């Protein structure tokens, strides 16, 4: 056509030479190889969880989880204002945590669990690092009404450790980062990188919600084995919802399931483990 070249002869607004075309093909090939390698690595790294009996896609060993958790713990302590100075409160957290381990199936995992009360009075949170480092902030601890609720919070976090959720997320992040890098190389376009990262975030977000429900379920099991009232975990959901002022994002946009969903799943878990006694 007069006055206009074929669209295929342009790339990013510039006329293509034969060398340009060869470079584009090469980057596409490299991108495809990177994507294929990332997928192969992810789907061929499987380990059997000795406690849950599940086959999991993880890329690190239990020993590496422990090392990673111990290495990360000081930074987390600093981020949340240090260790709480109240020795009695600290002792309660440790004793409840140890009971959840020593009198339940969690003892078989072999992780060197440690339980910490953090001084942060503002951020309502509890979390576990890979390998057994478990934390609860003073902001959440102070809202709990009894020892059973504390056991529910800590049991939930131990559930993350037992299910190796940290290791699973590391493997998933390695996969999504590899695919994102492959998209960037293949397209040579930052917008493609943004799109790939958005997809990666959605995948990891959904996965995180599943992990929370799984840990709720396992937390119920640990509470019952340790002699705590598992219905106290429902009370924890009430506390969390009240602390948020009843305002939350739709479940699909949140890394945590809705409180209503979690309450229902907790009651289902209680019925399930009562039947297996």
Q: What is the pLDDT of residue 57?
A: 82
Instruction: For residues 251-277, give the mean pLDDT.
Output: 79
Question: CB-based contacts of 232: which residues, under 8 Å, 6+ apart?
Answer: 146, 148, 149, 151, 152, 223
Q: Is there a domain that residue 148 lies in?
A: yes
Confidence band of 207 (pLDDT split at 50, 70, 90) = very low
Burial of 91 (0-12, 13-18, 19+ CB in 10 A): exposed
Instruction: For residues 220-226, give the mean pLDDT.
Output: 97
Q: Is there a domain that residue 228 lies in?
A: yes
User: What digits encode the pLDDT tens for the residues 128-184?
Assistant: 999 999 999 999 999 999 999 999 999 999 999 999 988 888 777 776 666 565 555
Q: Is there a domain that residue 193 lies in?
A: no
Q: Is there a domain that residue 53 lies in?
A: yes
Q: Which domain holds residue 112?
A: 46-168+205-275
Number of domains in the chain: 1
Q: Is there a domain that residue 120 lies in?
A: yes
Alpha helices of 103-189 — where are they, by DSSP H?
Answer: 138-141, 147-162, 165-187
Q: Is there a domain that residue 9 lies in?
A: no
Lowest mean pLDDT among 40-49, 142-151, 242-251: 242-251
Q: Is there a domain that residue 6 lies in?
A: no
- The whole-model pTM stands at 0.75
DSSP helix/strand/coil, 132 = coil
Q: Is there a domain that residue 21 lies in?
A: no
Q: What is the pLDDT of residue 116?
A: 98
């Amino acid at each position: 056509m007069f006055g206009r070249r074929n669209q295929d002869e342009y790339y990013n607004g510039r006329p293509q030479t034969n060398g340009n075309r060869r470079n584009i093909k090469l980057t596409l090939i490299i991108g495809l190889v990177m994507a294929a390698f990332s997928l192969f690595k992810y789907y061929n790294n499987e380990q059997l969880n000795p406690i849950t009996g599940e086959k999991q896609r993880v890329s690190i060993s239990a020993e590496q989880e422990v090392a990673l958790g111990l290495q990360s713990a000081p930074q987390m302590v600093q981020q949340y204002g240090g260790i709480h100075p109240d020795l009695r409160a600290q002792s309660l957290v440790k004793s409840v945590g140890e009971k959840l381990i020593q009198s339940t199936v969690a003892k078989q995992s072999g992780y060197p669990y440690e339980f910490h009360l953090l001084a942060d009075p503002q951020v309502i949170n509890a979390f576990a690092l890979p390998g057994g480092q478990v934390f609860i902030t003073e902001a959440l601890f102070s809202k709990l009404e009894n020892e059973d609720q504390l056991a529910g919070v800590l049991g939930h976090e131990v559930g993350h450790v037992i299910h190796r959720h940290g290791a699973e997320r590391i493997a998933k992040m390695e996969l999504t980062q590899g695919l994102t890098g492959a998209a960037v190389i293949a397209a040579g376009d930052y917008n493609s990188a943004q799109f790939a990262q958005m997809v990666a975030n959605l995948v990891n977000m959904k996965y995180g919600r599943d992990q929370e429900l799984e840990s709720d379920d396992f937390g119920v099991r640990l509470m019952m084995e340790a002699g705590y009232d598992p219905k106290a975990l429902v009370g924890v959901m009430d506390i969390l919802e009240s602390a948020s002022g009843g305002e939350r994002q739709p479940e699909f946009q949140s890394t945590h399931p809705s409180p209503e969903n979690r309450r229902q799943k907790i009651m289902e878990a209680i019925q399930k483990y009562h039947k297996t006694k």
